[in-house]
Amino acid sequence: MPFPLSILDLAPVSDGTSTETALAEVGRLARLGDELGYTRLWYAEHHGIPSIASSSPEVLIATSAARTSRIRVGSGGVMLPNHVPLRVVETYRTLNGLTPGRIDLGIGRAGGSDGRTLAALRSVGGEYFSQELAELLAFEAEGFPDDHPYRTVRVVPEQISLPPIFLLGSSGASAEAAGQLGLGYSFAAHFSPTPAAPAFAAYRAAFRPSPAFPLPRAILAVSALVAPTDAEAQFLSGSQALSWALFHSGEIRKLVSPDAAASHPYTEHQRRIIEAQSPLWIVGSPGTVRAAIEERAASSGADEVMVTTTVWDYEHRLRSYRLLAEVFGMGP
């Protein structure tokens, strides 16, 4: 296999199903990923979006880690402006203590929602990200100056370290910082049209080895949907296309069915939204998808590829990850 494959799960909520069903499917995918040999499984943090049930990644991490035995489980990521740094350190030390050696901490600078929801979360905004990250790292390393008011704060649980930290990016802004701090770096190519290669190059150029990362680790996140044939995959991908168009037209709904997508009367504005975003989506048969993923990994210089799959039917989502594992030579 040319590079490790991992999973990014947004806990999608399909139209016609309940959120309880969507959350139960999180466990099914975790067990499948563990069985098939995926390297890691991350949960994103989003708020106020009916089609996404991953508002509390740490709860999903704890649940899935307890139901699996091998796969690494983590956040992709904690949106740091929404949280107090000390609380993040406490939470992820606890998770690392419960499942030693299998937890990751991915950290992002965005809020993951609309302005009103972020206000309700008391989000401080991305402009304070560097300050909050420095505070988080200082709590972990007991690195506050002697005259700092937090110098004597005891971080518990004690004698447990944070898991490996990855900075997340979608524009390259965090790449150099991730390298300088000796952290991992993940680029969100599943929704960002910005090329990942310059960000990965900046990350590697700035990289300084650390205990958690003696070598740089660059993860490319992509959106991919696999079906037995190109034609079926394209039909199933209509759910993602329409849901994306509705969301960016101000109509927030659960993930729609491919039949609903096929019969939807698209406006010109919605068609333009889809045309702009669809080049980022990898859709097709196993061979088609493998070739596209390999090309994007090679052109960006990724060490690992993380795949998120958006499809209305949960059985088709599991099938997609099975087919992807098979075509890359993975399996139990």
What is the number of residues in the chain?
332
Where exactly are the structural domains of the chain? Answer: 5-327
Residues 276-299: what's their mean pLDDT?
97
Distance CA 2, CA 240 (A): 28
Report the sign of the C-alpha dihedral through residues 189, 195, 201, 207, in that order.
negative
Instruction: Please check the confidence at residue 111 and state whether its pLDDT lies above 70.
Output: no
The per-residue DSSP string of 274-306 comes to: HHHHGGGEEEESHHHHHHHHHHHHHHHT-SEEE
pTM above 0.85, yes or no: yes
CATH superfamily, with its number, for domain 5-327: Luciferase-like domain (3.20.20.30)
Which pLDDT tens digit goes with each residue over 243-264?
999 988 877 788 999 999 999 9
Report the sign of the C-alpha dihedral through residues 109, 75, 38, 209, in that order.
positive
Strands 40-43 and 165-169: unpaired
Instruction: Please check the confidence at residue 112 and state whether its pLDDT lies above 70.
Output: no
Report the sign of the C-alpha dihedral through residues 276, 40, 161, 47, in that order.
positive
- Which residue do the tokens 């307890």 mark? 66
Residues 58-81: what's their mean pLDDT?
96
Least confident of 69-78, 86-95, 114-123, 238-247: 114-123
**Residue 280 CA to chain centroid, in angstroms?**
15
- By the 10 Å C-beta count (0-12 exposed, 13-18 middle, 19+ buried), 128 is classed as middle
Residues 198-212: what's their mean pLDDT?
97
Is residue 127 within 8 Å of residue 111, measured between CB atoms? no
Q: Which of 177, 166, 221 is nearest to 203 (CA)?
A: 177
Residues 110-133: what's their mean pLDDT?
80
- Report the mean per-residue pLDDT for the chain: 94
